[in-house]
Amino acid sequence: MPAMKFRSFVVPTLCLLLLSAFAFGQKEKDKKPKLTAPAVPEVVPRTPYSEVRRESLLNGLQVIMLERQDEPKVTCHLVIRGGSMFDLAGRAGLATITVESLLGVNPQLTQELESLDAKMNWEVTPDITGFHIESPGSNLDQVLAIVSRLLVVDNVRKEAFENAQKARLEKLKSQQLTPAAKADEAFYATLYGDHPYGHNTEGTLETINAIKHGDVLDFYKRVYLANNMFAVVHGNLRLERVMSLFRMFYGSWIKGVPPPPAFRPPHRTIEARVNKVEQADLANVEIRGGVIGVSHTDPDYIATMLLSRVLEARLKKLSAAAAAQFVPRVLAAPLYFSASVPAEKATELSRQATDLFGTLDKAEIAESELATAQTALLGEHQARPIPEYLREIAAFKLPETYPLTYESKVKAVSTLDLQRVAKRLLEANALTVLVLGKVNDGTKSQSE
Protein backbone atom coordinates (compact mmCIF):
# COMPACT_ATOMS: atom_id res chain seq x y z
CA MET A 1 0.00 0.00 0.00
CA PRO A 2 2.75 2.56 0.80
CA ALA A 3 4.32 1.82 -2.59
CA MET A 4 1.08 2.46 -4.37
CA LYS A 5 0.67 5.79 -2.56
CA PHE A 6 4.19 6.82 -3.51
CA ARG A 7 3.62 5.94 -7.17
CA SER A 8 0.34 7.86 -7.24
CA PHE A 9 2.21 10.95 -5.95
CA VAL A 10 5.28 10.77 -8.19
CA VAL A 11 3.57 10.22 -11.55
CA PRO A 12 1.41 13.38 -11.45
CA THR A 13 4.35 15.39 -10.19
CA LEU A 14 6.55 14.27 -13.09
CA CYS A 15 3.79 15.12 -15.54
CA LEU A 16 3.52 18.63 -14.11
CA LEU A 17 7.29 19.09 -14.32
CA LEU A 18 7.37 17.93 -17.93
CA LEU A 19 4.49 20.19 -18.88
CA SER A 20 6.19 23.16 -17.20
CA ALA A 21 9.46 22.44 -18.98
CA PHE A 22 7.67 22.18 -22.34
CA ALA A 23 5.84 25.47 -21.74
CA PHE A 24 9.08 27.24 -20.74
CA GLY A 25 10.85 25.87 -23.80
CA GLN A 26 8.02 27.02 -26.03
CA LYS A 27 8.22 30.54 -24.58
CA GLU A 28 11.98 30.67 -25.16
CA LYS A 29 11.43 29.44 -28.68
CA ASP A 30 8.83 32.14 -29.30
CA LYS A 31 11.34 34.76 -28.13
CA LYS A 32 13.79 33.84 -30.87
CA PRO A 33 13.31 35.82 -34.09
CA LYS A 34 11.66 33.88 -36.85
CA LEU A 35 13.71 33.44 -39.98
CA THR A 36 11.85 34.90 -42.95
CA ALA A 37 12.74 35.49 -46.57
CA PRO A 38 14.01 39.05 -47.31
CA ALA A 39 11.37 41.44 -48.58
CA VAL A 40 11.27 41.86 -52.32
CA PRO A 41 12.31 45.47 -53.08
CA GLU A 42 9.62 47.56 -54.68
CA VAL A 43 10.20 48.14 -58.38
CA VAL A 44 10.73 51.84 -59.03
CA PRO A 45 9.00 52.83 -62.29
CA ARG A 46 11.36 54.10 -64.95
CA THR A 47 11.00 57.68 -66.10
CA PRO A 48 12.75 59.82 -68.74
CA TYR A 49 15.01 60.99 -65.88
CA SER A 50 16.02 57.54 -64.63
CA GLU A 51 19.31 57.63 -66.55
CA VAL A 52 20.38 61.05 -65.27
CA ARG A 53 23.57 60.85 -63.20
CA ARG A 54 24.90 63.49 -60.82
CA GLU A 55 28.49 63.67 -59.60
CA SER A 56 30.61 66.40 -58.02
CA LEU A 57 34.29 67.26 -58.09
CA LEU A 58 36.14 67.75 -54.81
CA ASN A 59 35.88 71.53 -55.31
CA GLY A 60 32.08 71.32 -55.40
CA LEU A 61 31.50 71.68 -59.15
CA GLN A 62 28.50 69.52 -59.98
CA VAL A 63 28.31 67.53 -63.23
CA ILE A 64 24.87 66.36 -64.39
CA MET A 65 25.07 63.77 -67.14
CA LEU A 66 22.50 62.26 -69.48
CA GLU A 67 24.09 59.75 -71.80
CA ARG A 68 22.54 59.43 -75.26
CA GLN A 69 24.60 57.29 -77.62
CA ASP A 70 22.35 58.10 -80.60
CA GLU A 71 23.15 61.84 -80.40
CA PRO A 72 25.64 62.99 -83.08
CA LYS A 73 27.26 65.56 -80.75
CA VAL A 74 27.69 66.38 -77.10
CA THR A 75 26.14 69.51 -75.62
CA CYS A 76 27.65 70.94 -72.47
CA HIS A 77 26.11 73.79 -70.50
CA LEU A 78 28.46 75.43 -68.03
CA VAL A 79 26.32 77.57 -65.73
CA ILE A 80 27.36 79.96 -62.97
CA ARG A 81 24.68 80.87 -60.43
CA GLY A 82 25.26 84.58 -60.73
CA GLY A 83 24.23 87.12 -63.33
CA SER A 84 23.52 90.83 -63.50
CA MET A 85 21.83 90.79 -60.07
CA PHE A 86 25.37 90.87 -58.66
CA ASP A 87 26.43 93.94 -60.66
CA LEU A 88 27.82 96.63 -58.38
CA ALA A 89 25.68 99.74 -57.79
CA GLY A 90 26.18 102.13 -60.69
CA ARG A 91 28.02 99.39 -62.63
CA ALA A 92 25.19 97.81 -64.65
CA GLY A 93 26.69 95.51 -67.26
CA LEU A 94 29.48 94.27 -64.97
CA ALA A 95 28.52 90.60 -65.34
CA THR A 96 28.49 90.99 -69.13
CA ILE A 97 31.85 92.80 -69.23
CA THR A 98 33.32 90.03 -67.05
CA VAL A 99 32.41 87.38 -69.65
CA GLU A 100 33.71 89.51 -72.52
CA SER A 101 36.97 90.16 -70.65
CA LEU A 102 37.50 86.46 -69.90
CA LEU A 103 36.84 85.32 -73.46
CA GLY A 104 38.74 88.28 -74.92
CA VAL A 105 42.04 86.81 -73.74
CA ASN A 106 41.84 84.51 -76.78
CA PRO A 107 40.91 86.54 -79.89
CA GLN A 108 41.02 83.34 -81.96
CA LEU A 109 38.52 81.48 -79.77
CA THR A 110 35.78 81.18 -82.40
CA GLN A 111 38.20 79.96 -85.08
CA GLU A 112 39.82 77.41 -82.73
CA LEU A 113 36.44 75.96 -81.83
CA GLU A 114 35.31 75.86 -85.45
CA SER A 115 38.45 73.91 -86.37
CA LEU A 116 37.23 71.25 -83.93
CA ASP A 117 33.71 71.30 -85.43
CA ALA A 118 32.53 72.93 -82.19
CA LYS A 119 30.91 76.19 -81.17
CA MET A 120 30.10 78.12 -78.01
CA ASN A 121 27.47 80.73 -77.15
CA TRP A 122 27.09 82.56 -73.87
CA GLU A 123 24.40 84.51 -72.06
CA VAL A 124 23.98 86.69 -69.00
CA THR A 125 20.57 86.93 -67.34
CA PRO A 126 19.70 88.55 -64.02
CA ASP A 127 20.21 85.16 -62.33
CA ILE A 128 22.89 83.20 -64.22
CA THR A 129 25.88 83.35 -66.53
CA GLY A 130 25.87 80.48 -69.00
CA PHE A 131 28.20 79.01 -71.61
CA HIS A 132 26.59 76.67 -74.14
CA ILE A 133 29.09 74.34 -75.85
CA GLU A 134 28.40 71.94 -78.70
CA SER A 135 31.10 69.54 -79.85
CA PRO A 136 31.73 66.07 -81.27
CA GLY A 137 32.39 63.68 -78.41
CA SER A 138 35.83 62.89 -79.79
CA ASN A 139 36.86 66.56 -79.57
CA LEU A 140 35.28 67.47 -76.26
CA ASP A 141 38.57 67.12 -74.39
CA GLN A 142 40.22 69.75 -76.59
CA VAL A 143 37.19 72.04 -76.40
CA LEU A 144 36.96 71.87 -72.61
CA ALA A 145 40.69 72.52 -72.39
CA ILE A 146 40.35 75.70 -74.49
CA VAL A 147 37.42 77.00 -72.42
CA SER A 148 39.01 76.09 -69.08
CA ARG A 149 42.13 78.08 -69.91
CA LEU A 150 39.94 81.17 -70.25
CA LEU A 151 37.69 80.59 -67.23
CA VAL A 152 40.09 78.93 -64.79
CA VAL A 153 43.70 79.67 -65.74
CA ASP A 154 44.07 83.02 -67.50
CA ASN A 155 41.26 84.83 -65.65
CA VAL A 156 40.87 88.58 -66.22
CA ARG A 157 43.78 90.32 -67.95
CA LYS A 158 43.82 94.11 -67.95
CA GLU A 159 44.38 94.41 -71.69
CA ALA A 160 41.49 92.04 -72.41
CA PHE A 161 39.24 94.07 -70.07
CA GLU A 162 40.15 97.35 -71.77
CA ASN A 163 39.42 95.88 -75.20
CA ALA A 164 36.11 94.45 -73.97
CA GLN A 165 35.07 97.75 -72.42
CA LYS A 166 35.93 99.66 -75.59
CA ALA A 167 33.98 97.19 -77.77
CA ARG A 168 30.99 97.32 -75.42
CA LEU A 169 30.91 101.14 -75.49
CA GLU A 170 31.07 101.16 -79.29
CA LYS A 171 28.23 98.65 -79.45
CA LEU A 172 26.06 100.72 -77.11
CA LYS A 173 26.70 103.87 -79.15
CA SER A 174 25.60 102.20 -82.38
CA GLN A 175 22.86 100.05 -80.87
CA GLN A 176 19.27 100.90 -81.78
CA LEU A 177 16.87 99.28 -79.34
CA THR A 178 13.45 98.33 -80.64
CA PRO A 179 10.50 100.21 -79.13
CA ALA A 180 9.47 97.00 -77.36
CA ALA A 181 12.94 96.61 -75.80
CA LYS A 182 12.95 100.24 -74.71
CA ALA A 183 9.53 99.82 -73.11
CA ASP A 184 10.59 96.65 -71.27
CA GLU A 185 13.73 98.34 -69.96
CA ALA A 186 11.83 101.41 -68.77
CA PHE A 187 9.11 99.25 -67.19
CA TYR A 188 11.61 97.15 -65.19
CA ALA A 189 13.34 100.32 -63.99
CA THR A 190 10.02 101.82 -62.89
CA LEU A 191 8.78 98.62 -61.25
CA TYR A 192 11.97 97.67 -59.37
CA GLY A 193 13.66 101.04 -58.87
CA ASP A 194 17.22 100.59 -57.59
CA HIS A 195 16.75 96.85 -56.94
CA PRO A 196 19.16 94.69 -59.04
CA TYR A 197 16.26 93.46 -61.20
CA GLY A 198 15.61 97.07 -62.24
CA HIS A 199 18.61 97.45 -64.57
CA ASN A 200 19.41 95.70 -67.83
CA THR A 201 22.18 93.13 -68.28
CA GLU A 202 24.19 95.05 -70.90
CA GLY A 203 24.54 98.35 -69.06
CA THR A 204 24.57 101.89 -70.42
CA LEU A 205 27.28 104.21 -71.70
CA GLU A 206 27.50 105.75 -68.24
CA THR A 207 27.68 102.50 -66.25
CA ILE A 208 30.10 100.74 -68.62
CA ASN A 209 32.38 103.80 -68.54
CA ALA A 210 32.38 103.61 -64.74
CA ILE A 211 33.57 99.98 -64.58
CA LYS A 212 37.22 99.47 -63.65
CA HIS A 213 39.52 96.48 -64.08
CA GLY A 214 39.36 95.91 -60.31
CA ASP A 215 35.55 95.71 -60.47
CA VAL A 216 35.76 92.83 -62.94
CA LEU A 217 38.38 91.05 -60.83
CA ASP A 218 36.15 91.46 -57.78
CA PHE A 219 33.09 90.11 -59.64
CA TYR A 220 35.10 87.10 -60.86
CA LYS A 221 36.38 86.30 -57.37
CA ARG A 222 32.92 86.66 -55.80
CA VAL A 223 30.86 84.79 -58.35
CA TYR A 224 33.09 82.50 -60.46
CA LEU A 225 33.52 79.78 -57.84
CA ALA A 226 33.60 76.04 -58.55
CA ASN A 227 30.91 75.32 -55.97
CA ASN A 228 28.76 78.08 -57.47
CA MET A 229 28.75 76.36 -60.86
CA PHE A 230 27.31 73.26 -62.50
CA ALA A 231 27.56 71.54 -65.86
CA VAL A 232 24.81 69.70 -67.74
CA VAL A 233 26.27 67.29 -70.30
CA HIS A 234 24.05 65.52 -72.82
CA GLY A 235 25.21 63.21 -75.61
CA ASN A 236 27.31 60.29 -76.71
CA LEU A 237 29.89 60.04 -73.93
CA ARG A 238 30.11 57.90 -70.81
CA LEU A 239 29.83 59.52 -67.39
CA GLU A 240 33.26 58.17 -66.41
CA ARG A 241 34.86 59.85 -69.41
CA VAL A 242 33.07 63.15 -68.76
CA MET A 243 34.07 63.16 -65.09
CA SER A 244 37.68 62.43 -66.06
CA LEU A 245 37.71 65.48 -68.37
CA PHE A 246 36.18 67.77 -65.75
CA ARG A 247 38.63 66.63 -63.08
CA MET A 248 41.49 67.30 -65.48
CA PHE A 249 40.43 70.75 -66.67
CA TYR A 250 38.21 72.13 -63.89
CA GLY A 251 39.42 70.32 -60.78
CA SER A 252 41.77 73.18 -59.90
CA TRP A 253 39.03 75.80 -59.99
CA ILE A 254 38.91 77.47 -56.59
CA LYS A 255 35.92 77.05 -54.29
CA GLY A 256 34.59 79.60 -51.85
CA VAL A 257 31.45 81.04 -50.28
CA PRO A 258 28.92 81.80 -53.04
CA PRO A 259 27.25 85.20 -52.68
CA PRO A 260 23.63 84.76 -51.61
CA PRO A 261 20.95 86.73 -53.50
CA ALA A 262 19.91 88.23 -50.16
CA PHE A 263 19.09 91.74 -51.31
CA ARG A 264 16.50 93.80 -49.55
CA PRO A 265 13.05 93.03 -50.99
CA PRO A 266 11.93 95.16 -53.95
CA HIS A 267 10.02 98.27 -52.97
CA ARG A 268 6.31 97.48 -53.10
CA THR A 269 4.13 100.16 -54.66
CA ILE A 270 1.14 101.16 -52.55
CA GLU A 271 -0.35 103.59 -55.07
CA ALA A 272 -0.90 103.08 -58.78
CA ARG A 273 1.75 104.86 -60.84
CA VAL A 274 2.16 105.68 -64.51
CA ASN A 275 5.47 106.44 -66.22
CA LYS A 276 5.09 108.14 -69.60
CA VAL A 277 8.04 108.14 -72.01
CA GLU A 278 7.57 110.47 -74.96
CA GLN A 279 8.75 109.19 -78.37
CA ALA A 280 6.68 111.01 -80.95
CA ASP A 281 8.23 109.28 -83.98
CA LEU A 282 6.65 105.91 -83.17
CA ALA A 283 3.57 104.77 -85.06
CA ASN A 284 2.52 102.50 -82.20
CA VAL A 285 2.38 103.04 -78.46
CA GLU A 286 4.03 100.47 -76.20
CA ILE A 287 2.09 99.72 -73.02
CA ARG A 288 3.30 97.72 -70.02
CA GLY A 289 1.51 97.18 -66.74
CA GLY A 290 1.96 94.83 -63.82
CA VAL A 291 3.18 94.01 -60.34
CA ILE A 292 6.05 92.20 -58.63
CA GLY A 293 5.11 88.53 -58.50
CA VAL A 294 6.77 85.50 -56.87
CA SER A 295 10.06 83.61 -57.11
CA HIS A 296 10.50 80.21 -58.76
CA THR A 297 10.67 78.45 -55.37
CA ASP A 298 7.52 80.09 -54.03
CA PRO A 299 4.66 77.61 -53.35
CA ASP A 300 2.41 79.78 -55.56
CA TYR A 301 4.77 79.74 -58.56
CA ILE A 302 2.76 77.30 -60.70
CA ALA A 303 -0.52 78.99 -59.78
CA THR A 304 0.99 82.33 -60.85
CA MET A 305 2.06 80.77 -64.15
CA LEU A 306 -1.53 79.66 -64.73
CA LEU A 307 -2.85 83.06 -63.67
CA SER A 308 -0.65 84.71 -66.31
CA ARG A 309 -2.19 82.39 -68.95
CA VAL A 310 -5.71 83.31 -67.87
CA LEU A 311 -4.74 86.98 -67.97
CA GLU A 312 -3.27 86.62 -71.46
CA ALA A 313 -6.39 84.88 -72.80
CA ARG A 314 -8.53 87.75 -71.52
CA LEU A 315 -6.14 90.35 -72.95
CA LYS A 316 -6.29 88.69 -76.37
CA LYS A 317 -9.99 89.47 -76.46
CA LEU A 318 -9.10 93.16 -76.19
CA SER A 319 -6.21 93.06 -78.68
CA ALA A 320 -4.35 90.33 -80.54
CA ALA A 321 -1.15 92.31 -79.89
CA ALA A 322 -1.51 92.01 -76.10
CA ALA A 323 0.28 89.34 -74.03
CA ALA A 324 1.05 88.47 -70.41
CA GLN A 325 4.58 87.81 -69.16
CA PHE A 326 5.85 85.84 -66.18
CA VAL A 327 9.25 84.14 -66.26
CA PRO A 328 11.09 82.12 -63.58
CA ARG A 329 13.50 84.11 -61.42
CA VAL A 330 15.53 83.41 -58.29
CA LEU A 331 13.88 86.41 -56.64
CA ALA A 332 10.34 87.75 -57.11
CA ALA A 333 9.68 88.04 -60.86
CA PRO A 334 7.36 90.55 -62.53
CA LEU A 335 3.87 89.56 -63.62
CA TYR A 336 2.81 92.02 -66.27
CA PHE A 337 1.02 92.59 -69.57
CA SER A 338 2.42 94.12 -72.74
CA ALA A 339 0.79 95.56 -75.83
CA SER A 340 1.78 97.48 -78.95
CA VAL A 341 -1.12 99.39 -80.48
CA PRO A 342 -1.75 102.38 -82.78
CA ALA A 343 -1.68 105.69 -80.93
CA GLU A 344 -5.38 106.34 -81.51
CA LYS A 345 -6.28 103.08 -79.72
CA ALA A 346 -3.77 103.35 -76.89
CA THR A 347 -5.94 105.26 -74.41
CA GLU A 348 -8.83 102.82 -74.59
CA LEU A 349 -6.66 99.69 -74.50
CA SER A 350 -4.59 101.03 -71.61
CA ARG A 351 -7.75 101.66 -69.61
CA GLN A 352 -9.28 98.27 -70.42
CA ALA A 353 -6.07 96.34 -69.74
CA THR A 354 -5.35 98.02 -66.43
CA ASP A 355 -8.96 97.52 -65.33
CA LEU A 356 -8.79 93.86 -66.33
CA PHE A 357 -5.51 93.32 -64.47
CA GLY A 358 -6.57 95.28 -61.40
CA THR A 359 -9.75 93.26 -60.92
CA LEU A 360 -8.24 89.77 -61.33
CA ASP A 361 -8.85 89.05 -57.65
CA LYS A 362 -12.52 90.06 -57.90
CA ALA A 363 -13.59 88.83 -61.35
CA GLU A 364 -14.65 85.19 -61.21
CA ILE A 365 -12.35 82.78 -63.05
CA ALA A 366 -14.27 80.10 -64.93
CA GLU A 367 -13.29 76.42 -64.82
CA SER A 368 -13.00 76.50 -68.61
CA GLU A 369 -10.44 79.33 -68.41
CA LEU A 370 -8.36 77.35 -65.93
CA ALA A 371 -8.63 74.16 -68.01
CA THR A 372 -7.39 75.98 -71.12
CA ALA A 373 -4.44 77.41 -69.19
CA GLN A 374 -3.60 74.00 -67.72
CA THR A 375 -3.70 72.33 -71.15
CA ALA A 376 -1.34 74.92 -72.61
CA LEU A 377 1.11 74.69 -69.71
CA LEU A 378 1.15 70.88 -69.76
CA GLY A 379 1.65 70.89 -73.53
CA GLU A 380 4.79 72.97 -73.11
CA HIS A 381 5.90 70.69 -70.29
CA GLN A 382 5.61 67.58 -72.43
CA ALA A 383 7.51 69.15 -75.32
CA ARG A 384 10.35 70.49 -73.21
CA PRO A 385 13.75 68.76 -73.66
CA ILE A 386 15.16 66.99 -70.60
CA PRO A 387 18.44 68.99 -70.57
CA GLU A 388 16.43 72.23 -70.21
CA TYR A 389 14.73 70.86 -67.12
CA LEU A 390 18.08 69.68 -65.72
CA ARG A 391 19.46 73.22 -66.08
CA GLU A 392 16.37 74.71 -64.46
CA ILE A 393 16.55 72.31 -61.50
CA ALA A 394 20.23 73.09 -60.87
CA ALA A 395 20.01 76.85 -61.52
CA PHE A 396 17.08 77.41 -59.15
CA LYS A 397 17.98 74.58 -56.73
CA LEU A 398 14.67 72.81 -57.23
CA PRO A 399 13.90 69.22 -56.12
CA GLU A 400 15.24 66.65 -58.56
CA THR A 401 11.68 65.30 -58.89
CA TYR A 402 10.38 68.70 -60.05
CA PRO A 403 9.56 67.70 -63.67
CA LEU A 404 8.04 64.39 -62.49
CA THR A 405 5.57 66.10 -60.15
CA TYR A 406 4.90 69.06 -62.44
CA GLU A 407 1.80 67.61 -64.11
CA SER A 408 0.08 66.68 -60.84
CA LYS A 409 0.83 70.12 -59.37
CA VAL A 410 -0.60 71.89 -62.40
CA LYS A 411 -3.76 69.78 -62.28
CA ALA A 412 -4.14 70.38 -58.53
CA VAL A 413 -4.55 74.15 -58.95
CA SER A 414 -8.15 75.34 -58.63
CA THR A 415 -9.91 78.55 -59.64
CA LEU A 416 -10.00 79.46 -55.94
CA ASP A 417 -6.20 79.14 -55.86
CA LEU A 418 -5.89 81.54 -58.79
CA GLN A 419 -8.08 84.15 -57.15
CA ARG A 420 -6.23 83.72 -53.86
CA VAL A 421 -2.90 84.34 -55.63
CA ALA A 422 -4.34 87.32 -57.51
CA LYS A 423 -5.51 88.78 -54.21
CA ARG A 424 -2.11 88.13 -52.62
CA LEU A 425 -0.25 89.96 -55.40
CA LEU A 426 -2.66 92.86 -55.81
CA GLU A 427 -2.87 93.48 -52.08
CA ALA A 428 0.94 93.61 -51.88
CA ASN A 429 1.38 95.89 -54.92
CA ALA A 430 -0.45 98.66 -56.69
CA LEU A 431 -0.31 98.52 -60.48
CA THR A 432 2.71 100.04 -62.25
CA VAL A 433 2.09 101.19 -65.84
CA LEU A 434 4.58 102.29 -68.50
CA VAL A 435 3.48 104.03 -71.71
CA LEU A 436 6.05 104.75 -74.45
CA GLY A 437 5.28 106.58 -77.68
CA LYS A 438 3.06 109.55 -78.51
CA VAL A 439 2.06 109.91 -74.88
CA ASN A 440 1.07 113.57 -75.22
CA ASP A 441 -1.57 112.82 -77.84
CA GLY A 442 -4.30 111.67 -75.52
CA THR A 443 -2.80 108.40 -74.28
CA LYS A 444 -3.30 109.12 -70.59
CA SER A 445 -4.12 106.19 -68.40
CA GLN A 446 -7.20 106.14 -66.26
CA SER A 447 -4.87 105.94 -63.25
CA GLU A 448 -3.73 109.54 -63.76
Residues 6+ apart with CB under 8 A from 448: 274
**Cβ 404 vs Cβ 393: under 8 Å:** no
Confidence of residue 150 (pLDDT cuts 50, 70, 90): very high
Give pLDDT, residue 442.
47
Residues 6+ apart with CB under 8 A from 255: 59, 60, 225, 226, 227
Confidence of residue 401 (pLDDT cuts 50, 70, 90): very high
pLDDT above 90: residue 300: yes
Give pLDDT, residue 280.
85
pLDDT above 60: residue 20: no
Query: Could you tell me the domains of the chain?
Result: 52-250 (3.30.830.10), 273-437 (3.30.830.10)
Closest CA to 120 of 89, 144, 102, 97: 144
Give pLDDT, residue 46.
85
pLDDT above 90 covers a percentage of the chain that reads: 73
Of 14-28, 85-99, 124-138, 390-404, which gets the smallest average pLDDT?
14-28
Confidence of residue 446 (pLDDT cuts 50, 70, 90): very low
**Cβ 146 vs Cβ 112: under 8 Å:** yes
pLDDT above 50: residue 1: no
Q: How many CB atoms lie within 10 A of CB 300?
A: 18
SS3 21: helix
Q: Cα 175 to chain center, whole Å?
A: 29
**Cβ 343 vs Cβ 437: under 8 Å:** yes
**Cβ 339 vs Cβ 319: under 8 Å:** yes
Query: Which of 2-16, 73-87, 253-267 is modeled with the greatest confidence?
Result: 73-87
Q: Label residue 276 left, alpha or beta by phi (over 0 means left) and psi (-120 to 50 means alpha).
A: beta
pLDDT above 90: residue 445: no
Of 18-27, 50-59, 72-81, 287-296, which gets the smallest average pLDDT?
18-27
CA 50 to each of CA 46, 53, 398: distance values in angstroms, whole numbers, following the listed order = 6, 8, 17
pLDDT above 60: residue 39: yes
Give pLDDT, residue 108.
95
- What are the strands, taking DSSP E only, across 127-246? 129-135, 229-235
More confident: 448 or 76: 76
Handedness of CA 360, 361, 363, 364 (dihedral sign): positive
The CA distance from 59 to 319, in Å, is: 53
Phi, psi for 149 (deg, rounded to 5)? -60, -35
pLDDT above 50: residue 123: yes
Spell out a b/e string for 138-151, using b for 16 or more CB atoms within 10 Å of the CB, else e: ebbbbbbebbbebb
The CA distance from 183 to 266, in Å, is: 20
Give pLDDT, residue 443.
45
Give pLDDT, residue 416.
96
Query: Strand 52-56 relative to strand 284-292: parallel, antiparallel, unpaired?
Result: unpaired
Give pLDDT, residue 6.
42
Give pLDDT, residue 354.
92
More confident: 263 or 250: 250
N-to-C CA span, the chain: 127
Average pLDDT over residues 238-267: 87
Confidence of residue 435 (pLDDT cuts 50, 70, 90): very high
pLDDT above 80: residue 355: yes
**Cβ 333 vs Cβ 327: under 8 Å:** yes
More confident: 445 or 86: 86
Instruction: For residue 336, list its beta bridge partners.
Output: 290, 325
pLDDT above 80: residue 441: no
| H/E segment holding residue 75 | strand 74-80
Of 38-42, 121-125, 179-183, 335-339, which gets the smallest average pLDDT?
38-42
Of 41-50, 117-126, 142-151, 401-410, which gets the smallest average pLDDT?
41-50
Give pLDDT, residue 133.
97
SS3 163: helix
Give pLDDT, residue 263.
62
pLDDT above 50: residue 3: no
Give pLDDT, residue 31.
54
pLDDT digits (tens, 9 = 90+) for 215-241: 999 999 999 999 999 999 999 999 999
Q: How many CB atoms lie within 10 A of CB 189?
A: 17
pLDDT above 80: residue 11: no
pLDDT above 90: residue 156: no
Mean of all residue pLDDT scores within the chain: 88
